[in-house]
Amino acid sequence: MKTPELVCRIAAVLAALLPAPAHAAGLLRPAGGGAPLAIESHDVNVEIIDGIAVTRIEQVFRNDSDRPLEAVYSFPLPAAASLSAFSMWIGGREMDGEVVEKTRARGIYESVVHPEVAPEQQERWDRLTPFWKDPGLVEAVSYREFQATIFPVPARGTQKVRLTYYQSLAPEKDIVTYVYPMETRVAEDSRARGRFSLNVTLRSSVPLTGCAFPGALDDQVVSEASGDRRVVAHMERPDGDLDRDFVMLYRLKRETTGADLLTWRRPGEDGYFMLLATSPSSAPPQVAAPVDYTFIVDVSGSMRRQRRLDLAGTALARFLEDGDPADRFNLIAFNVTPQALAPEALPNDRASRDDMKRFLARFTGVGGTDLFPALELAYAQALPGRRQAFVIVTDGGLNDLDEDHARFLRLGESRDATIFGLALGNDANVPLLDALAKSTGGFVAPVSTADDLQSRGLLLRDRMRQRPVRRLRLETAGDVEIFDQAPARIPDLYAGTQIAVLGRYRGDGRGTFRLVGERDGERVSLETNVDLDASVLPVPEIRRLWAERRLFDLLQEKRAGRLPGDVAASVVRLGVDYSIVTPLTSFLVLESEEMFREHGVERRSHALLEEEARAREERGRAADAKPIGPEQQPPRFHADPGEMFGGAIDPFVLLLVLLVAAGPWTMRRLLG
């Protein structure tokens, strides 16, 4: 039963609620440099079914120059997303890319764009070039940042591109967040503008009770609810900045706890699983021993942007103000060399906090980003016998995206300090921060540069003092065998947060998946029973999510020096088999099927996409067919996310709601 259309014009909310930017809007520049090409249109379609989101972006770029251009299209993705497709329009038709080993893909691209031509034929070749050379290449240039090289963008013409990515949206308490990030890193005077539209279709097997669109500012968001399990939202900016993120919050009628299992397999093959585990609430934490905090703050050139140093200083002071007076602290500012506020930890009083803010205000943001000497200094100043917590605050590519994690990890082997990371924006070296945090029992929190850093700092401090479920392992019972688990080391699980454990399985019949860990020396078990022979709705997307996580694990182990050099072969095989761009594989687009055959490139990505699309249609029909009880009302729409909770709420829950706008990956890493 459809309800009358509900239309709400979303009012401006605090800029602190804007989500973490991931630059997914993309920017197309001439390969030789210069101003970005004009964005003629930017259209986004999002489909969310029971927490699995598929985002499709189509952009049309316009070349206003008098010559064809080879252009570079940059588009970092959210940290939890898996790039599943890239295509471009050639001769009026869409050509899908195919994942190929990176060196081979680059060689094929160059052979088409820059073939060997006899000198006497060069002039004729140049005249023909704009009409029949149409390759594209997508490569990973850093962690979660991709770059497509496209040729040609015709003179006075347009080029249309499409990319698709998948992500799993984890609830925090009973709140789920979808973020479409659009902020770019270009200078203020070169930000692109153009028509932007976004459509979201949300279906949920669990009834929805509320929906909000924080951060919409001057945009108009039109929303319609069909019953209590389906929401459609539309937003359009006829001619607005394309550097403001879109956020959608929705609340489930019940809080998820325990373990849920998704499985998928083709007949006669080993299957894939995704176990979603949510920890029940724990007793209030016992009084913890005082902590010595060392804030290791990046003061390099990139920290000049958006007053990041000022924001960091204010946030850290608030972090300490509301903390334990028995705690102590120090601050180490670093770019290429570290400078300490004091030779040893200072008392947590107003005078020391004011000294910290004045010390940080001396730095204007210059130089590179070298974390290693700063960590050495932090360890040298740490006093034995006190709990030590190092909090790294950075927005840059530490050590030029250093791939040698082993030398960093060796620093802490014989020391007792827990490392936490605050990764501002999307340029930070998250893999290195993740390795340092996990090796010492900490965690990494990606943070929006426009977020409320003070509130996030308070939540970070609270999580440092919580008692999560640790030493988690996945067990099975019955006639089922699991292998290639990802992540291999399951992260700690905090109350009210959700973690995903993916892997492969073989076997049939009934079985049990059980996640076992410890909290304060007591055993904690979350389990679910499954019939592997039963007919279930298909979720083939989990194979890509598994492969993406498996690839991250392999690359992290290699960076830490724990895997042999031949891990490259495994990375290439996974990338090619599951159509995933990695540091060693690339998407290659050629102008015709014949060209793919000529270069010996097997076509497989289109079949994967079609299989996944059919499965989503089936799941969508099943979600729409869920019965609606007389007591179930359609979700309410709110201009302010706080209204979703009926007025006065617990301050911690309100803080969680505000922070959840930064996205599921941010919160999952922050909370667990």
Angle of CA points 272, 553, 106, to nearest 5°? 95
Q: Rounded distance, CA 82 to CA 580, Å? A: 7
Contacts of 360 (CB under 8 A, 6+ apart): 297, 299, 309, 312, 313, 331, 333
Strand ranges across the sheet with 636-638: 175-180, 246-252, 208-212, 636-638
Q: What does the pLDDT read at residue 27?
A: 65
Query: ω before 634 within 30° of 0 (cis)?
Result: no
Q: Rounded distance, CA 610 to CA 22, Å? A: 27
Dihedral angle computed from the Cα positions of residues 45, 47, 52 and 57, in that order, rounded to the nearest 10 degrees: -10
Q: What does the pLDDT read at residue 657?
A: 33
Q: Rounded distance, CA 497 to CA 499, Å? A: 7
DSSP, collapsed to helix, strand or coil, labels residue 450 as coil
Which class is domain 15-253+578-624?
A: mainly beta
Q: What does the pLDDT read at residue 117?
A: 56
End-to-end C-alpha distance for the chain, whole angstroms: 39
Residues of the chain whose pLDDT is less than 70?
Answer: 1-28, 33-36, 116-133, 183-194, 214-220, 238-244, 254-256, 280-288, 305-307, 397-402, 425-426, 447-460, 463, 565, 627-672
Query: Measuring CA to CA, which residue among 434, 438, 330 is closest to residue 379?
Result: 330
Q: Rounded distance, CA 631 to CA 175, Å? A: 21
Beta bridge partner(s), residue 249? 177, 212
Structure letter (DSSP) for residue 157: -
Contact 503, 273 (CB under 8 A): yes
Q: Taking the domain 255-285+472-537, which CATH number applies?
A: 2.60.40
Contact 198, 48 (CB under 8 A): no
Give domain limits for the chain.
15-253+578-624, 255-285+472-537, 291-465
Contact 146, 78 (CB under 8 A): no
291-465: in CATH 3.40.50.410: yes
Cα separations in angstroms, 179 against 11, 20, 247: 18, 8, 5
Query: Measuring CA to CA, which residue among 456, 422, 457 is closest to residue 436?
Result: 422
Q: What does the pLDDT read at residue 648?
A: 33
Q: What does the pLDDT read at residue 130?
A: 47
Query: Measuring CA to CA, which residue among 654, 552, 607 is closest to residue 140?
Result: 552
15-253+578-624 matches 291-465 in fold? no
Q: What does the pLDDT read at residue 241?
A: 61
What's the whole-model pTM score?
0.81
Q: What does the pLDDT read at residue 332?
A: 96
Query: Measuring CA to CA, which residue among 306, 176, 159 is closest to residue 243?
Result: 306
Contact 99, 585 (CB under 8 A): yes
Q: In sequence order, what DSSP letters do the residues of 66-111 get, joined into one string? A: SS-EEEEEE----TT-EEEEEEEEETTEEEE-EEEEHHHHHHHHHH
State the Rg of the chain over Cα.
Answer: 25
Contacts of 553 (CB under 8 A, 6+ apart): 486, 487, 488
Q: What percent of the chain has pLDDT over 70?
A: 75
